[in-house]
Amino acid sequence: MAGAGLAQTSKLGIFDSEGSVGKTPPGCEARYDPAKGEYRITGGGANMWAAADAFYFVWKQASGDMTLTADVQWVGVSAVAHRKAALLIRQSLDPGSAYADAVSHGDGLTALQFRGAPNEQTYEVPTQVEGPVRLRLVRKGNRITMFAGKPNEELKPSGPVEFVSLQDTVYVGLGVCSHVATTLETAIFSNVTLEQPAPAPEVHSTK
């Protein structure tokens, strides 16, 4: 089910679409710079937490195991400690969707956040990596793991969690939440990769 404000575009690099999940203020947008390989995402929304989310999302649909990786850096200084820039895997574009994310907060908190089933509460496995930060979100079967660290340094794992109800097909991408319903924040995602294992070759019977 698509959320309000979603629009198809061909200018989002490895992703297909962008739009608001939940309620966001005017001015949200995503810009992709192919020369730099950077996504500059401006998003609003009251939070990505509790039983419902509000943020701006750049995404594609995908199935199976996947690994999403990006360097994340905030633009400008903000008094909002919990503005959030995230790598996400969601079941749907509904605000209360089951999801898991690797998220960088404005105050340096880095966490694996997850909502195990629709409209339930959100939980987290926290760590502390001051930005800029390199994040990786790995889905392998029903296991979700976050890896985090400084760019060009070893990434340390958090998790895995195994009770997020995600059935194929899922929405995978990048999101920004200002943590204030009426304001906007901007983050830059660079060196973004989405890796998926090649499908197993078909086996044809010789009988």
In a 13 Å sphere around the CA of 176, the CA atoms on its Cβ side amount to: 28
What pLDDT does residue 5 have? 45
pLDDT digits (tens, 9 = 90+) for 134-163: 999 999 999 999 999 999 999 999 999 998
Of 159, 97, 83, the C-alpha closest to 124 is 159
Topology of domain 7-195, CATH: Jelly Rolls (2.60.120)
Residues in a beta bridge with 49:
52
Query: What's the distance, Cα to Cα, between the start and end of the chain in Å?
Result: 44
| SS3 (DSSP) at 46 | coil
Q: What is the mean pLDDT of residues 166-192?
A: 98
Distance CA 78, CA 82 (A): 10
27's tokens = 């001015």
* pLDDT tens per residue across span 6-22: 444 458 999 999 999 99
Q: Is 2 helix (H, G, I), strand (E, B) or coil?
A: coil
